[in-house]
Amino acid sequence: MSERTIHRDRPLITAWSAVSPFGLGRDAFAAGVARGEPAHLVPDFDTRKVLGKAGTRTYDRATGLAVTAVRELLDEAAAARQPIATGGGTALVLGTTLGSAHSAAGFSRASFEGDKPYDVPAQLMPNVLMNGPAAATAIRFDLKGPNTTLAGGAAGGLLALGYARRLLAAGRAERALVGAVEEQTETRSWLAGEPDRPIGEGSAVLLVETARTLPPERRVLAELLSLDVRLAVDEDPQEALAATVRDALAQADATPDQVWAAAVTGQPAEEQLAALVGPEAVRRVRTAGLLGDTGSAGTVFSVTTVLALAEQDPAAAGRLAVIASLDHQGLAACAVLRLAGGDR
Amino acid sequence: MNAPQRAASAPQRVVVTGIGVLSSIGNGVEEFTSALREGRCGAGPITSFDTTGFVHTSGHEVDGFVPERWIHRLPVEQLGRATQFTVAAARMAVQDAGLDEQRLAGLRAQVTVGTTDGEAGELDRMMAASVAQGPERPADQLLAGRLPAHQLALAVARELRLPRVVPTVLGTACAAGNYAIGDGFDAVRTGEADIALVGGADAICRRTFAGFSRLGLVSSDVCRPFDADREGLLTAEGAGVLVLETLESARTRGARIYAELLGYGLNCDAHHPTAPDQSSVARCMELALADAGVKADEVDLVSAHGTGTPTNDITETRAIREVFGDTPPRTVALKAMLGHSMGAASALGAAASALALAHGFVPPTVNHRTTDPQCQIDCVPNHSVPADLRVVVNNGLAFGGNNASVVLGRHEEEPSR
């Protein structure tokens, strides 16, 4: 039967988890956010110890982090008796910057260092492609719906959310796991040269559903009211950020005073964001300060940070979160979420 | 601004009004169309990197590419070759669509580009230098700045100065072009974007050539899909970008319409990192047909993924027969002409499908001698044929089990009511 209807209902975030510098899983992340002490490397992350030896021999770090984040999400949901269906109805949309730069560099290096230029580790070829982590995650958890790796740099997480919204609107999936992964490796550090701030890593993933497909008794954590993306064509990135935040709020029929929490990742722009939505909202969420530069995962970590904080603060209910990014070439993006509770 | 309405609504019809291509058989839509008709094969010795030591050394490269001809605003040295290809193909497509760039800048645009390797060729060059000079040598920051794959779409937006743009790069390997076209289709049909520039691009690179060589998948001479003596693929480069807009928008501005984009399907095998899964590939085509509202017996042509490797061609043929029955539509593999241009492959396939519909011909599967009895399809060997095509299915399959099929239909002006 052809799917000839566009569904306009807003995407709902109904669960989340993360593998982060604060440890494995949602509770570890929430505890780390509450402590507020910066950390940049996922501690003691040995893929084969975390995931077991079956099927993980060829995993690189990015793949291990992504698979683990999805495992945590699925396991936590099952433990809460709110299992997440897998199979053909479930999409996976995973943001990245370079996939595993370390795998790609190692594969290329082998071609130059081997006796023959084709002396490359062929069994690791899937890892040099950006879709390695998403493909491995699909195989491990039987995710047969749309499986999309989206490269977006600092905007990657928000672009992934927008992509997932299109999939759900067109009825191409009933639910989507939306997240991003970045690994910390010597190759990434080498490529970064002398960055302004520490490189962070991890993978965060959101369960995104719609009212049409929401299982009974699933708790809604937040609703995506709007998403705006724009480019500073006149070399004024701060103005592009201001315009995208203003437009995203306008699309949500919202005003800055309703904003409870706000974060911007990518280029440092917290002062500019504070000028738009108030310093108090920006003070609540310090994604980059806590985790360093987590690339495409930055905006997803901002979302999980806000959701972790909102859980602990009844004053957040019904208010808004502004999740923004700004990259060094002037691409600005902003999502407005309504946090559950209150008048919804 | 246009906040999406919350009620369900009927989607817009989406048409292809511009095509930009760079390929081993020709650059630009006219040259590409003649090459498809003539059945030109773009194979030749690889010159982009040193092939010394490789057993087989042929590939499909883009000739005569002058980036400055297409890239006017961005500093070309900041862009890797795949990014240059994308920007050039996008500008070609915009010009082909007859779009005024100033007017374009006022529209909400979706720019989605699929790629397998992104700027891996640039990383290869960095690794060659690192091996020669020692790993303690700092990374060249000009080259490092070219690497992030999202540059492919972002550079298009920056070059065309599109302020209201969603620049997205999909890294779904060798099906990425179709993924990108599907994303643009959804953005336009839902009204999220006024216009979409979508497709795929890849530049030939050593590491992927080395990988396929190691896997024994590189042909010694040319690519012969569905042939009993096929040896494998030839890696390639290229870019294909389509301009998508609503039928209403195209009519309003009097645009030439190549074809209608009827629908697409995408799924994941979730089965094996490299081997395709027959039933999952069949399912992908079924999803696409259902999305397009087309019955299997209404399809006149399949533009296959058709890599010319032993496994792909058998699995894909069986999947096609699973969907279309014992008398499947003619099924051609453009990779015999174009090589395997990775993320560009299915975008070039979609461009060729649109041109086939518009001009009424079937591009051939060249280099063909004897059809493999295990590939029971009519692959239209060696010579194009005139054909009254109405519906074409274009397949893209990838490592990681990422499948996507796009369905295109002939555009016919309806009598005004």
Rounded to 5 degrees, what angle do the CA atoms B198, B201, B204 make?
175
Distance CA A236, CA A21 (A): 33
Q: Which residues of B are less than 8 Å from A108 in CB distance?
A: 120, 123-124, 127, 206-207
**pLDDT tens by residue, B306-350:** 999 999 999 999 999 999 999 999 999 999 999 999 999 999 999
Query: Is residue A92 less than 8 Å (CB to CB) from chain B?
Result: yes
CA-wise closest residue to B391 among B348, B356, B344: B356
Of A1, A113, A229, nearest to B165 by CB-CB distance is A229
B4, pLDDT greater than 90: no
Distance CA B268, CA B181 (A): 17
CB atoms within 10 A of CB B162: 25
Q: Which residues of B are less than 8 Å from A3 in CB distance?
A: 290-291
Instruction: Judge: A159–B168 Cβ closer than 8 Å, yes or no.
Output: yes
Instruction: Judge: A147–B293 Cβ closer than 8 Å, yes or no.
Output: no
Mean pLDDT by 10 residues, chain A (344 residues): 72 98 98 98 97 96 98 97 96 96 97 97 94 97 98 97 97 97 96 92 98 92 98 92 98 97 96 97 96 98 98 96 97 98 47
Shortest Cα distance, chain B CAs vs residue A282, angstroms: 25
Q: What is the mean pLDDT of residues B145-167?
A: 98
Query: Is residue A111 less than 8 Å (CB to CB) from chain B?
Result: yes
Of B11, B267, B400, nearest to A144 by CB-CB distance is B267
Shortest Cα distance, chain A CAs vs residue B212, angstroms: 8
Distance CA B284, CA B403 (A): 6
pTM above 0.95, yes or no: yes
pLDDT grade for B7, boundaries at 50, 70 and 90: low
- Which secondary structure element, helix H or strand E, spans residue A10, and what is its range? none
Instruction: Judge: B11–A1 Cβ closer than 8 Å, yes or no.
Output: no
pLDDT for position A341? 66
**pLDDT tens by residue, B92-126:** 999 999 999 999 999 999 999 999 999 999 999 99
- Tokens 């169309």 locate to B33
Q: Which residue of B has its CA nearest to A330?
A: B158
Q: Which residues of A are less than 8 Å from B267 in CB distance?
A: 88, 144-147
Name residue B187's amino acid: A
Quick one: DSSP state of residue B6?
S
Q: Which residues of A are less than 8 Å from B129 in CB distance?
A: none
The number of residues making up chain A comes to: 344
B205 three-class SS: coil
Query: Is residue A229 less than 8 Å (CB to CB) from chain B?
Result: yes
Which pairing describes strands B330-332 and B301-303: parallel, antiparallel, or unpaired? parallel
pLDDT for position B2? 41
pLDDT grade for B10, boundaries at 50, 70 and 90: confident
Q: What is the largest CA-CA distance in chain B?
A: 72
Q: Which of B168, B174, B403, B406 is the mutation pick for testing A, counting most A CBs within 10 A?
A: B168
Distance CA B286, CA B304 (A): 14
A265 within 8 A of A325, measured Cβ to Cβ = yes
CA-wise closest residue to B154 among B89, B105, B231, B83: B83
- SS3 of A199-213: the string is ECCEEEEEEEECCCC
Percentage with pLDDT > 90 across chain B? 94
> Which tokens go with A238?
């701060």
Instruction: Judge: B138–A159 Cβ closer than 8 Å, yes or no.
Output: no
Instruction: Judge: B118–A134 Cβ closer than 8 Å, yes or no.
Output: no
Query: Is residue A138 less than 8 Å (CB to CB) from chain B?
Result: yes
**pLDDT tens by residue, B53-96:** 999 999 999 999 999 999 999 999 999 999 999 999 999 999 99
* b/e per residue B35-61 (b: at least 16 CB within 10 A): bbbbbbbbbbebebbebeebebbbbbb
pLDDT for position B1? 36
pLDDT for position A217? 86
The number of residues making up chain B comes to: 417
Cβ neighbors of A245 (< 8 A, separation 6 or more) are: A228, A273, A276, A277, A322, A324, A334
Q: Which residues of B are less than 8 Å from A9 in CB distance?
A: 6, 8
Instruction: Judge: B171–A8 Cβ closer than 8 Å, yes or no.
Output: no
Name residue A101's amino acid: A
A93 within 8 A of A226, measured Cβ to Cβ = no
Query: Is residue A181 less than 8 Å (CB to CB) from chain B?
Result: no
**pLDDT tens by residue, B266-304:** 999 999 988 899 999 999 999 999 999 999 999 999 999
Compute the radius of gyration of chain B from its Cα atoms.
20
Q: What's the sign of the alpha-carbon dihedral A160, A287, A18, A60?
A: positive
ipTM of the prediction: 0.97
Beta strands in A169-236 (DSSP E): 175-182, 202-209, 222-231
Instruction: Judge: B214–A118 Cβ closer than 8 Å, yes or no.
Output: yes
Q: Which residues of A are less than 8 Å from B269 in CB distance?
A: 138, 144
Instruction: Judge: A146–B266 Cβ closer than 8 Å, yes or no.
Output: yes
Q: At what angle do helices B29-38 and B345-359 cross, to 10 degrees?
A: 80
Active site members of B: 174, 305, 340
B9, pLDDT greater than 80: no
Query: Is residue A235 less than 8 Å (CB to CB) from chain B?
Result: no
Distance CA B64, CA B88 (A): 13
Rounded to the nearest angstrom, the gap between the alpha carbon of residue B9 and the centroid of all alpha carbons in its chain is 30
B6, pLDDT greater than 80: no
Instruction: Judge: A153–B150 Cβ closer than 8 Å, yes or no.
Output: yes
Name residue B375's amino acid: C
Distance CA A272, CA A263 (A): 11
B24 within 8 A of B239, measured Cβ to Cβ = no
Q: Which of A119, A147, A159, A223 is the mutation pick for testing B, counting most B CBs within 10 A?
A: A147
Q: Which residues of B are less than 8 Å from A172 in CB distance?
A: 186, 266
Q: Which residues of B are less than 8 Å from A116 in CB distance?
A: 53-54
**pLDDT tens by residue, A112-166:** 999 999 999 999 999 999 999 999 999 999 999 999 999 999 999 999 999 999 9
pLDDT for position B416? 52
